[in-house]
Amino acid sequence: MGAHHPGRPPDPYADLADVAAEARAGMLRTIEASGGWDADPSWRTAFAEVPRHLFVPSYWIGGGNGHDLLRGGDPDPARRVRWMRGAYVDAPLATRLRDGELLSSSSQPSLMARMLAELRVGEEDRVLEIGAGTGYNAALLAHRVGEERVTTVDLDPEITESARAHLRSAGYAPTVVTGDGALGCPERAPFDRIVATCTLPSVPRAWLAQCTPGALVLAPLATGLIRLVVDGPEQAEGRFLHTSAYFVPLRGAARRTEAVPPGSLPRRALHSELFQFLLALTAGVLDPRDALGLWLREGRPARERYGVTVRGPYVWSWLDDPEGPYAWPLPEA
């Protein structure tokens, strides 16, 4: 589909080019209909020209639970076609499992588009991605700002090795680093944008020190997406976007979870995504019953009413006002 990328090796799945073109066009229509890149429509070109199938040569459908592995190298032609079509479905694809635990996936394309659009990337911006995954997101960023301005970090050497291979196959060579994403990548700093593709327990301080003034940080936290404006090495603030976001947790990070006893809360509240967001954001700090009372009193607040502030040694989440009555400390990331 489209012109051949000048630095891209021949596509090993060229015999499925027509299937790929049709499937990719369908993915673009779906992202468009979802409003995925409404905030920055220029991302459409990157999604149209970066071949997702080169980043998912194999994946499990059904999150791995069904143990149905689809592979581009499958000897069965029908299963190869199914693999190619599935590579462009607007859904997350499980790409790496270990002992039944999901370690890496290719995120839902419409969510990726929304995150990239909301990152408000400029043509000259230097971007740090936390969580290399398959390398697909780094390729999209490299297509937009140039591979020399993109750095992606992951803790797992197997993940970074495969991401490099996928990126080479697609003709891109951003910097891929094996390391602790919570520490950022000081040797490649400073950055104008930082985007995480893994859920965080808090905001890593190291990131802020590696940002230029006015830089944006976009990261999954609780079950939402926080976008922070960085005002200095120890200061940042921002609000959550309206969309939900579920990602694999940052490897090595502490998790904030608090079991809610069955029957202790109304079923309607437990089934509310917005109440679950508040529970996740305040886990270990706010009693679930107190959280329910707050949520009802405040009119079942949407995600956009919540925010996060970093000021010196303190990091906290809040409702409506960082200095208001509803504020909860976040742990060290």
pTM of the entire predicted model: 0.92
Please determine, for residue 2, whether its predicted confidence score (pLDDT) is greater than 70.
no
Q: Which string of DSSP letters, residue by residue, matches 41-94? A: TTHHHHHHHS-GGGG-SEEEEGGGTT-EEEETT-SSHHHHHHHHHHHTSSS-EE
Q: What is the pLDDT of residue 6?
A: 60
**Model pLDDT for residues 307-325, shown as the tens digit of each residue:** 999 999 999 999 999 999 9
Please determine, for residue 64, whether its predicted confidence score (pLDDT) is greater than 50.
no
Q: What is the pLDDT of residue 228?
A: 98
Q: What is the pLDDT of residue 18?
A: 97
What are the extents of the domains in the chain? Answer: 14-244, 267-329
Catalytic residue flag (residue 317): no
CATH of segment(s) 14-244: 3.40.50.150
**Model pLDDT for residues 155-211, shown as the tens digit of each residue:** 999 999 999 999 999 999 999 999 999 999 999 999 999 999 989 999 999 999 999
Q: Which of 150, 98, 88 is nearest to 119 (CA)?
A: 150
Which residue among the candidates 34, 42, 58, 104 is catalytic per the annotation?
Answer: 104
**What gap in Å lies between CA 304 and CA 274, rounded to an integer?**
11
